[in-house]
Amino acid sequence: MGNEEAVFYSRVLTELTLSFHIIYATIGVGVPLMIMIAQWVGIKKNDEHYILLARRWARGFVITVAVGVVTGTAIGMQLSLLWPNFMELAGNVIALPLFLETFAFFFEAIFLGIYLYTWDRFENQKKHLLLLIPVAIGASASAVFITIVNAFMNAPQGFDVLNGELVNINPLLAMFNPAMPTKVAHVVVTAYMTAAFVLAAIAAFRLLKGSNHIYHKKALFLTMKVGLVFSIAAAIIGDFSGKYLAEYQPEKLAAAEWHFETEENAPLILYGVLDNGEVKYAIKIPFALSILAHFNPTAEVIGLDQFPEDEIPPLYIHYLFDFMVTIGVWMTLLSLVYWLGIQMRWKLVHSKLFRWLIVLGGPLSILAIEAGWWLAEVGRQPWILRGLMRVEDAATTSGHVDTMLILFSGLYLVLGVGSIVVLTRMFRRNPVEQELEDRHATKGADIS
């Protein structure tokens, strides 16, 4: 296997691992917050349905955590095996957030274990709820620290390069780089948003399949409401991300927006096709790119004409950006219509069609997360460490990466199918109606 092939397979394997891991990582970050909100609402309203909601979500969450641990470990291993030159150069600088991410996970896992095994040990449910706070903090902190590593790759700082060696290393300065605030905020908020819409899709699916239980209706209302709040937050942070790119990574913004020439009053281009460098069939929103980049409709936006040919990211990231934004806007509108419909008592939001749209929103939200990550990673090309190290210079020269790709593909297939089968059986064998009946029977026996 030649060096070019090793680079290609290293990229494919890394993309496969990240694409698979991000599903479980997103659920892992978002669901603890959803469990905490459900249990808090249940305690506040003295409503057993919300308490049961938290309990059942927590059971399913454990399965996704287990898979997330395996794939997260795979990423750590692949960083060293597939990108040794990158780790040799940057390992000293970004070791701190990598260590902190591991610490955050153990912090989460310890309290999650205590939380799960003490469900019926607390007379005061509020004390039990307190155990969820470190779980939610640990889950979100894991996302924060690992995203800091990614942000560092986009805006490296906190060191000097002298004769090819890193000197004057300042890990904290490296962690708090210019890409960090918007990247971390966007990842965490979209994880909350996606987890809410995935759980909403499950509730809507159960209602469509004939279970008209009030439990599922409450689950749907809670998740859609939370999803609406975080989808609005994601849109606001996305706007800040555009302004960050305009200042620090203008080539990425220009490639994502097919902005070829530096100009003022820049329009935002949605969809369309490229025909010999000319954009056709696109929707152009006047002044919108200038507003996104600089909050000024007449501001100048740097185009791709300012960059060398070999430093321009692949132009197909334009479609990734469009796909991500389209789904984000669609889910915001869908959840807004649902919330208004409940307030105004519209029959539309209880219709089969509307509930199927909510079911579809779950996988669409996951796909939007995938598109966002591909945009983030591919949009940095050709750099692995922007401005310092190219991808081909960072990769391994091993001739066995293709074998690794086959082995890891098999592992992810087993993990993916296995987790779906286990989760499906877990909830199918223990339906809500049966669980509520058993709980009432247990309470009745306790009273007598």
DSSP assignment string, 238-301: HHHHHHHHHHH-HHHHHHHTT--S-BSSPPEEES-EEETTEEES-EEETTHHHHHHHS-TT--B
Please report which confidence band the pLDDT of residue 445 belongs to, taking 50, 70 and 90 as the band edges: very low
Whether residue 311 lies inside any domain: the answer is no
Selected residue with higher pLDDT from 3 and 182: 182
Please report which confidence band the pLDDT of residue 381 belongs to, taking 50, 70 and 90 as the band edges: confident
Averaged pLDDT for residues 227-236: 90
Task: Tell me the β-bridge partners of 167.
Answer: 160
Whether residue 65 lies inside any domain: the answer is yes
Whether residue 348 lies inside any domain: the answer is no
Please report which confidence band the pLDDT of residue 194 belongs to, taking 50, 70 and 90 as the band edges: very high
Averaged pLDDT for residues 272-296: 78
Please report which confidence band the pLDDT of residue 447 belongs to, taking 50, 70 and 90 as the band edges: very low
Whether residue 370 lies inside any domain: the answer is no
Q: Tell whether the model's pLDDT for residue 157 goes beyond 60.
A: yes
Residues 6+ apart with CB under 8 A from 262: 300, 301, 302, 303, 305, 306
Which residue in 395, 410, 407 sits closest to 80, CA to CA? 395
Whether residue 272 lies inside any domain: the answer is no
Q: Tell whether the model's pLDDT for residue 1 goes beyond 60.
A: no
Average pLDDT, the chain: 82
pLDDT of res. 439 = 59
**pLDDT > 90 in the chain, percent:** 5
Please report which confidence band the pLDDT of residue 448 belongs to, taking 50, 70 and 90 as the band edges: very low
Averaged pLDDT for residues 401-411: 85
Selected residue with higher pLDDT from 410 and 282: 410
Please report which confidence band the pLDDT of residue 2 belongs to, taking 50, 70 and 90 as the band edges: low
- Whole-prediction pTM: 0.87
Residue 145 one-letter amino acid: F
Please report which confidence band the pLDDT of residue 443 belongs to, taking 50, 70 and 90 as the band edges: low
Domain count, the chain: 1
pLDDT of res. 438 = 60
pLDDT of res. 437 = 61
User: Cα 192 vs. chain centroid, distance in angstroms?
Assistant: 8
Whether residue 102 lies inside any domain: the answer is yes
Domain residues for the domain of 49 are: 1-179+391-448
pLDDT of res. 192 = 92
pLDDT of res. 206 = 84
Whether residue 159 lies inside any domain: the answer is yes
pLDDT of res. 230 = 92
**pLDDT > 70 in the chain, percent:** 95
Spatial contact of 224 and 203, defined as CB atoms under 8 Å apart: no
Spatial contact of 335 and 198, defined as CB atoms under 8 Å apart: no
Spatial contact of 275 and 315, defined as CB atoms under 8 Å apart: no
pLDDT winner (highest mean) among 56-70, 218-232, 275-289: 218-232
Selected residue with higher pLDDT from 361 and 119: 361
How many angstroms separate the CA atoms of 437 and 161, rounded? 67
Spatial contact of 82 and 14, defined as CB atoms under 8 Å apart: yes
Selected residue with higher pLDDT from 183 and 299: 183
Sign of CA dihedral 364, 368, 373, 379: positive
Averaged pLDDT for residues 250-257: 84
Averaged pLDDT for residues 94-118: 84
Whether residue 353 lies inside any domain: the answer is no
